[in-house]
Amino acid sequence: MAANLKNNKQVEALKKGFQDIQTVMQEGNYKLFVKQFVAVLVVFLGFKYCSGQFADKINNYNGQMDAIHMQQSSEREYMTNKDLLFELEPRFPDISDKNGWLTSQILGVFKEAELTPQMDGSQTEDASNPTYEAVSLQVSSEMDFTRFARFLADIENNDEYLKVSDFSITKDTDPEHLGNNKISMKFNTIFPKEKIAKKLFKDYDKIMAQKRAKPEAKKQAGGK
Q: Which of 156, 122, 162 is nearest to 138 (CA)?
A: 122
Which pLDDT band holds residue 2 (cuts at 50, 70, 90)?
A: very low
- In this prediction, residue 147 carries a pLDDT of 92
**Residues 92-110, mean pLDDT to the nearest whole number:** 90
Q: Is the pLDDT of residue 94 over 60?
A: yes
- Cα–Cα distance between 103 and 98 in angstroms, integer? 10
Distance CA 123, CA 193 (A): 18
Residues 6+ apart with CB under 8 A from 92: 132, 161, 189, 190, 191, 192, 195
Mean pLDDT of all residues in 133-139: 93
pLDDT value of residue 224: 52
Is pLDDT above 90 for 186? yes
3-state class of 131 per DSSP?
coil
Range among 1-5, 122-126, 206-210 rated most confident: 122-126
Query: CA 21 to CA 198: how far, in whole Å?
Result: 86
H/E stretch holding 134: strand 132-143
Q: Is the dihedral of CA 206, 86, 95, 168 positive or negative?
A: positive
Residues, the chain: 224
Strands (E), 144-216: 163-171, 181-192
pLDDT at 115: 93
**Strand, coil or helix: 140:** strand
Rounded to whole angstroms, the Cα distance separating 120 from 137 reads: 8
Q: Is 100 helix (H, G, I), strand (E, B) or coil?
A: coil
Diameter of the chain measured on Cα atoms: 130
Give the burial class of 38: count Cβ atoms within 10 A of its Cβ; 0-12 exposed, 13-18 middle, 19 or more buried. Answer: exposed
Say if CB 31 and CB 23 are below 8 A apart.
no
Q: Are 99 and 124 in contact (CB under 8 A)?
A: no
**pTM, two decimal places:** 0.56
Res 44: pLDDT: 55
CA 37 from chain center: how many Å? 61
157 — pLDDT class (breaks 50, 70, 90)? confident
